[in-house]
Amino acid sequence: MIFIDACFGKPTPYTPVWMMRQAGRYLPEYMAVRKEAGDFLSLCKDYKKASEVTLQPVDILGVDAAIMFSDILVVPLEMGMELKFVKGEGPVFDTPIKCMDDLDKLSVEKAVKNLDYVYDTIKLTRDKLAADKALIGFCGAPWTIATYMIEGGGTKTYNVSKKMVYDNPQLLHAILRKVTNSLKLYLEEQIKAGVNAVQIFDSWASALEQSAYFEFGFSYINELVDYIKDKYPHIAVIVFPKGISGFLGEVDGKFDVFGVDWSTPLMSAKEILGKKYVLQGNMEPTRLYNKDAIDEGVDEILSIMRGKRHIFNLGHGILPDVPVENAKYFIKSVQEKSAKYCK
């Protein structure tokens, strides 16, 4: 698989490319399946439909890897929290975690068992996916998941979670410990079901100052990475801590690929991390609105990485109103242009 070879820094005939959120709302085919499912969570829990939308970007765009369709918050949902997705508001937990009694009601074992629809999605997708195409599993990082559990949903200030950092760090560590224990087993079950790589999304990494992030954020990512790499060294592990460009010099771990977000200069990431890790990213997602901007972004990134130790991706997820024609153009442009650098 070209994607897996690239994850381990092996030579490839071109730079493999995929997109975060590639199974999503910009595709009319996805919207049709979601309408049939009824709502977002129902789509996540219907493994046949979830597999169908996982495969759509491979068939329609020609990306080099599929990423299973699911959501990072199915883990706390199946641990015992009540989750709903509210139009215009996003995910909402009606009863956020405020104390140890709330946390004690949640079950690691229940979560791992109840997430069988994710494992079924993976099994079906792996059966249908071409043998040369990689299947990526994923989870949210413990810190990012914990913020939703504590805040009760999305937030712009993280004030409840960050207050806990300083007022009640013991409770925060207890939440992170329970989430991490769940994620270890969750990722392991994904691997057993057939994924070839896993990505850990820390979407809210930038909410914390450096010292707090490495205590409450990255240390738990590394614990997950160590657990997977020690047991499954053949599985590629990607980490994506968004918005920590100022902390890159402190990044260290056993993972294989570091995802670079669009706000981080790729040259800086290459100079600091490029010898130790394969880099993934990091084109600004809004460039996909314009083909000239796509060409400029692709050319710039390829000239920096020159076909070495790199997986092409956006620096965050593809946006819902990007024209499908432009997404196709992006994928083909990367594959064709990068070939000259990989000879």
- From the list 5, 25, 120, 295, the catalytic residue is 25
Active site residue 232: no
Look-up of token digits 């990306």: 63
What is the residue type of 342? C
Active site residue 306: no
List, as residue ranges, the binding site for substrate: 21-25, 71, 148, 203, 316
Cα-based torsion angle of the residue sequence 201, 57, 314, 36 in order, rounded to the nearest 10 degrees: -60
Q: Which of 142, 180, 178 is nearest to 161 (CA)?
A: 142
Contact 149, 172 (CB under 8 A): no
- Residue 87's pLDDT is 80
Lowest pLDDT segment from 81-90, 135-144, 161-170, 274-283: 81-90
- From the list 30, 148, 186, 277, the catalytic residue is 148
- Residue 190's pLDDT is 98
- Residue 187's pLDDT is 98
Tens digit of pLDDT for each residue in 10-66? 999 999 999 999 999 999 999 999 999 999 999 999 999 999 999 999 999 999 999
Question: What are residue 139's DSSP bridge partners?
Answer: 200
Q: In the predicted model, is pLDDT for residue 330 greater than 80?
A: yes
- From the list 5, 59, 71, 102, the catalytic residue is 71
The C-alpha R_g of the chain, in whole angstroms, comes to: 19
Active site residue 177: no
- From the list 14, 26, 30, 34, the catalytic residue is 34
Lowest pLDDT segment from 43-47, 90-94, 183-187, 301-305: 90-94
State the pLDDT confidence band at 86, using cuts at 50, 70 and 90. confident
Residue 113: CB atoms within 10 Å: 12
133, HSE (Cβ side, Cα atoms, 13 Å): 23
The fraction of the chain above a pLDDT of 90, given in percent, is 97
Report pTM: 0.97
Q: Long-range CB contacts (< 8 A, 24+ apart) of 263-266?
A: 263/315, 264/315, 266/301, 266/304, 266/305
Q: In the predicted model, is pLDDT for residue 343 greater than 80?
A: no
Question: What are residue 17's DSSP bridge partners?
Answer: 312
C-alpha to C-alpha distances, 210 to 217, 261, 323, nearest whole angstrom: 10, 17, 38
Active site residue 71: yes
Q: In the predicted model, is pLDDT for residue 88 greater than 80?
A: no
Domain 2-338, classified CATH 3.40.50.2020, yes or no? no
Q: Among the residues of the chain, which ranges form H helices?
A: 2-7, 28-37, 40-45, 47-61, 74-79, 100-104, 108-114, 116-128, 142-151, 159-167, 169-193, 210-213, 219-231, 266-273, 291-305, 324-338
List, as residue ranges, the binding site: 21-25, 71, 148, 203, 316
- From the list 21, 116, 232, 306, the catalytic residue is 21
Structure tokens belonging to residue 325: 């024609």
As a whole number, mean pLDDT of residues 192-213 equals: 97
Alpha-carbon span 189 to 195, nearest angstrom: 9
DSSP 292-332: HHHHHHHHHHHHHHTTSSEEB-BSSPPPTTS-HHHHHHHHH
First to last CA, the chain: 18
Tens digit of pLDDT for each residue in 99-139? 999 999 999 999 999 999 999 999 999 999 999 999 999 99
Q: In the predicted model, is pLDDT for residue 89 greater than 90?
A: no
